[in-house]
């Protein structure tokens, strides 16, 4: 069976900007607010210790939400992963596939595919990117939240959030991204292990809202 081709990058960009335009017609213009306290997200997760990566005011303005988390986690082997969370209870335009930013920053996309990460009896479906940047290979895993459900499908998340907005129902959403700067299968496996360990904290902090 032939694998369905991904949308061309330019189509993705057009859909992103069109969805941003539509949501502004559906929702009233809102000031940048905070819906969850991501500042209390754990700095230590099963042997991984975090430090905050500061964001500037302009980043919050572009995303349209104050609920943004960016942390660097390291384990005892000095493996390094970056966890990014963008959450919003009111703005669909706060979320977009990370490849838009990576490619806009001059990185080259080598591979994009779907991947399943086993979580005991269940599994988490994510998008995986492999990029080449100025300092080497970057591997990225990302997925979305719509209400209380994780999904790897950006368009499904946008549809669910838009549908609820049309009927005046509040449904929070999020983009979750884990990345490493390494071309190593061992470091990749440890990054996936981190994803497994962070899922319960994501559910507790984001899904409950």
pLDDT tier at 18, thresholds 50, 70, 90: low
User: Closest Cα partner for 175 from 109, 118, 94, 117?
Assistant: 94
Higher pLDDT, 131 or 57: 131
User: Domain coordinates of the chain in residue numbers?
Assistant: 9-207
The predicted model gives 86-90 an average pLDDT of 80
Residue % of the chain over a pLDDT of 90: 49
The predicted model gives 16-29 an average pLDDT of 48
Q: So what's the pLDDT on residue 47?
A: 92
Q: Which residues of 36-72 are buried (b: 16+ CB within 10 A; e: fewer)?
A: bebeebeeebeebebeeeeeeeeeeeebbbbbbbbbe
pLDDT tier at 9, thresholds 50, 70, 90: low
pLDDT digits (tens, 9 = 90+) for 184-193: 999 999 999 9
Q: Are 95 and 153 in contact (CB under 8 A)?
A: no
pLDDT digits (tens, 9 = 90+) for 105-142: 899 999 999 999 999 888 999 999 999 999 999 999 99
The span from the CA of 115 to the CA of 83, in Å, is 18
| Residue 22: pLDDT over 70 | no
pTM value is 0.81
């Amino acid at each position: 069976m032939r694998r369905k081709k991904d949308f061309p990058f330019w189509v993705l960009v057009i859909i992103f900007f069109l969805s941003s335009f539509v949501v502004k017609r559906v929702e009233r213009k809102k000031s940048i607010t905070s819906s969850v306290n991501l500042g209390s997200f754990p700095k230590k997760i099963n042997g991984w210790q975090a430090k905050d990566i500061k964001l500037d005011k302009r980043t919050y303005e572009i995303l349209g939400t104050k609920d943004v988390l960016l942390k660097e986690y390291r384990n005892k082997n000095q493996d390094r992963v970056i966890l990014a969370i963008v959450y919003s209870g009111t703005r669909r335009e706060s979320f977009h596939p990370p490849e838009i930013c990576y490619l806009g920053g001059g990185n080259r996309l080598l591979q994009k595919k779907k991947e399943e990460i086993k979580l005991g009896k269940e599994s988490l479906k994510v998008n995986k990117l492999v990029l080449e940047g100025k300092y080497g290979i970057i591997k990225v895993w990302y997925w979305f939240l719509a209400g209380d459900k994780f999904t790897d499908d950006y368009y499904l998340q946008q549809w669910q959030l838009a549908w609820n907005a049309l009927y005046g129902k509040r449904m929070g959403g999020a983009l979750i991204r884990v990345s490493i700067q390494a071309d190593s299968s061992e470091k990749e496996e440890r990054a996936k292990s981190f994803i497994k360990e962070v899922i319960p904290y994501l559910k507790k902090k984001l899904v409950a809202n």
